[in-house]
Amino acid sequence: MVNSNYLESYKITIETLGPLYIGSGHEIGKKDWILNRRDNTAYIIDEIKLFNYLKKNNLLSSFEKFMLSNARGGLFEWAKENKIINDIIHQTSKYSLDCENIVDVNTVKGIQTFIKDGYGKPYIPGSSIKGAIRNVLLSQSIEKDTNSNDEVISALRKPDTGDNKNKLSGEADKLDKKYFRTLNREGSKDGDAVNDIMSGIKIADSKPLSFSNLTLCQKKDANIDGYTRKTRIPILRECIRPETKIEFNLTIDTSLFKKSISYIENAVENFLNNYNEEFLLKFKEGIPYYGNVIYLGGGVGYHTKTVTSSLLKNEPDKVKIIGNIINNTVSKKMRDKHRHYDDHKLGVSPHMVKLTKYDGKLVQMGSCRIKISKL
């Protein structure tokens, strides 16, 4: 039973600096949305509304043939052929998204959707915030530790063993046990998950967001010279717009998690400085943020999701090690394509920075200013 005397309540406020994408795992196919090129807006179709409209207007048979066909065109072409574009847009759409930031809109096949609640509204899970905080705290713990992690570093140096994802997971588990699973609860074994100090942090999901907070963004990769690689099939993502403020309730059980809010804030800032120095500033398009900025969601890149930079900070061949780690966790086909084993020649790994275009500028995905205040 939780003793309420140990509980402290806070409010977390994040403000998106770049577009924020937290995926639902669902993709809307080209036959399930329609682009109005006149106002550069994508309309996401409501299946029930569409069915009722098609039934009412005797178009079910025609639509069924379209869905079963291998036609390269999307819903727009079928609606145009049947002269019902405006009807589809105004009578069957669920919500709309602006496409102002999309360059290759005519070659787009699908849209990766933002996570939504049981009522279909976008929201941000508290677990996304907690995961990001956990990562910066682990990085801080590694850097403050006077004892080395030579065993883990040695394992990361080893060549491809054929099961590198499991190997990396095992090394991450060792770090978790060392820095987080330290509670020694009665009846538990040393290093058990029940001993995790992060169990003392509870972050509630955000309130539902408005669809007007969403925009469509396209994934862009830029090399160190600023050249953006053109993808054959552009990836579109529903994202929270920059300059959106979102609040979360944070509860800390101080009997389990004994670090202060200022410690968390310091960890956030140190992680950001390390990320800038070790990775972002190597790129022409890498415009850094400073202060209380954290990276959330997808499309933010390897270094924002791992503690590798902190772990290898004092290793002279750190870039080569990171390149091999990334190289050995992808398929052979992808290894030959991206050649991360050569990243050390460029002085940075990975050798591309993940960006998107918003308001005419290349910006980082998922960058958010974070503030924690006492309730």
pLDDT at 334: 81
Residues 70-101 pLDDT 10s: 777 788 889 999 999 999 999 999 999 998 88
358 pLDDT more than 90: yes
Q: Which residue has the tokens 């600023």?
A: 226
Q: Which amino acid is at 112?
A: Q
Distances in Å between the alpha carbon of 308 and those of 139, 166, 313, 315?
8, 16, 8, 11
Helix-, strand-, coil-residue percentages of the chain, each rounded to 5: 40, 25, 40
- CA-based torsion, 70, 73, 79, 81: positive or negative: negative
Over range 315-321, report the average pLDDT: 93
Confidence category of residue 104, pLDDT binned at 50, 70, 90: low
Residues 41-57 have a mean pLDDT of: 95
pLDDT confidence of residue 120: 95
Find, among 176, 202, 196, 169, the residue nearest to 184 by Cα: 196
Residue whose token pair is 């806070």: 10
310/174 Cα distance (integer angstroms): 15
Answer yes or no: is pLDDT of 132 > 70. Answer: yes
- Written as six digits, the tokens of 351 are 């050798």
Q: What is the pLDDT of residue 310?
A: 94
Q: How confident is the model at residue 332 (pLDDT cuts 50, 70, 90)?
A: confident
What does the pLDDT read at residue 233? Answer: 64
CA-closest candidate to residue 365, choices 14, 20, 16: 20
- ∠ at Cα 313 (17, 339), nearest 5°? 75
Residue 2 has pLDDT above 70, yes or no: no
Closest CA to 136 of 375, 372, 374, 373: 372
Amino acid 331: pLDDT: 78
Q: How confident is the model at residue 106 (pLDDT cuts 50, 70, 90)?
A: low
Q: Is 16 exposed, middle or buried (0-12, 13-18, 19+ CB in 10 A)?
A: buried
How would residue 159 be classed by pLDDT, with cut points 50, 70 and 90? low
What's residue 225's pLDDT?
A: 92
